[in-house]
Amino acid sequence: MADDPEEGMLSWDESVFREEHVFEIDYVPETFKHRESQTQSLQYALRPAVRGSRPLNVMARGPPGTGKTTSVQKLFDELSAQTDVRTVRVNCQVDSTRYAIFSRIFEGIFDYEPPSSGISFKKLFRQITDKLVEEDEVLVVALDDVNYLFYEGEASDTLYSLLRAHEAHSGAKIGVIVVSSDLNLDVIEELDTRVQSVFRPEDVYFPVYDRQEIVDILGERVKRGFHEGVIGPDVLERVAELTAESGDLRVGIDLLRRAGLNAEMRASRTVSLQDVEDAYEKSKFVHLSHSLHALSENEVALVRVIAEHDGEQAGEVYDVFHEETDLGYTRYSEIINKVDQLGIIDATYTNVDGRGRSRSLSLRYDPEAVLARLDD
């Protein structure tokens, strides 16, 4: 493709993108700006691992889309390339039980999955620690989106097993990084006292990027991802403005990609402000989509019922939910608490005439937007 954006329209085999994968959410950029102090704090905590000792534990926290996962992943890539330190990052949205997490750790150490059945947690745990001692390796585990372990009641048992590994098997050296995007969750306070006594993490906070930082970061993506001249300064500024309003860098990254696709639909070599405005109608729901895609089948069923019965009392919603899933009220209440903590719904107590206090369930998003993303 010619770099002159004014030279005619796109032909069918041309693209405004130089490297479209640059705009995927899990892309790790070569140049990572405005997180130098956080990176230094992580390096400080993990420095003992490079010397063969157990590293300091870390709690990395901050709003969604503030660079927590990228910081950890870049550091893990460096450690794996330059040292004998073993690193395993676990996505707790996907693996939200202690057994599932240790299965992922097993896979990271042995390079194959453990048997799908017939192996107890105790045996799985022993094989992991045996391997670490045998190879004289230090393991660093990142529990990404650890808040999901709390929603499922699995956090204390998981962390207890990791933090006490050296007591269960002398010579096992494991460090833990917990990454949380839920600022309403007090990680330490919500842990069992048996875990609190041994979990004294370094606290690394990731604030929301300011407007100029967003321009810098998205500007780097534009240079790598688009051909020259596709994104003008006014378009980049508008994307940065919308991103700053959301507080989530992922919105801006997704917005650039969708705006580029909109330009291609018009066979245009440049992205217009209107392409951005049209794309924002979908990109502004990036966090919602991210949360919905991590839900189980029954959790999705509840969100769908609430979307269709927005603002109704919990008991009325339960009748519909029970008819669809056959689940009891206890599990129903647990799922309500989880999707409330995720910020998908509001579950507020109100007084109902003749019935005392009841929870009113309503979505924090437009019901049509939620239903559309459930059907994606």
Q: How far apart are CA 306 and CA 367, in angstroms?
A: 9
The answer on whether 160 is annotated among ligand-binding residues is no
- Range 231-235 contact pairs with CB under 8 angstroms and sequence separation of 24 or more: 231/256, 231/270, 231/271, 232/270, 232/271, 234/273, 235/259, 235/271, 235/272, 235/273, 235/275, 235/276
Residue with tokens 């990454």: 179
The answer on whether 349 is annotated among ligand-binding residues is no
The answer on whether 356 is annotated among ligand-binding residues is no
Contact by Cβ (8 Å): 195, 76 = no
The answer on whether 31 is annotated among ligand-binding residues is no
The answer on whether 8 is annotated among ligand-binding residues is no
Residue 117's CB: how many other CB atoms inside 10 A?
Answer: 5
Torsion, CA 320, CA 326, CA 330, CA 331, rounded to 10: -100
- Rama region for 229: left / alpha / beta (φ>0; ψ in -120 to 50; rest): left
The answer on whether 365 is annotated among ligand-binding residues is no
| C-alpha 108: how far from chain center | 19
Beta carbons within 8 Å of 281's beta carbon, 6+ residues apart:
none
The answer on whether 122 is annotated among ligand-binding residues is no
Q: Which residues are annotated as a binding site?
A: 66-70, 209, 221
Q: Which residues are annotated as a binding site for ATP?
A: 66-70, 209, 221
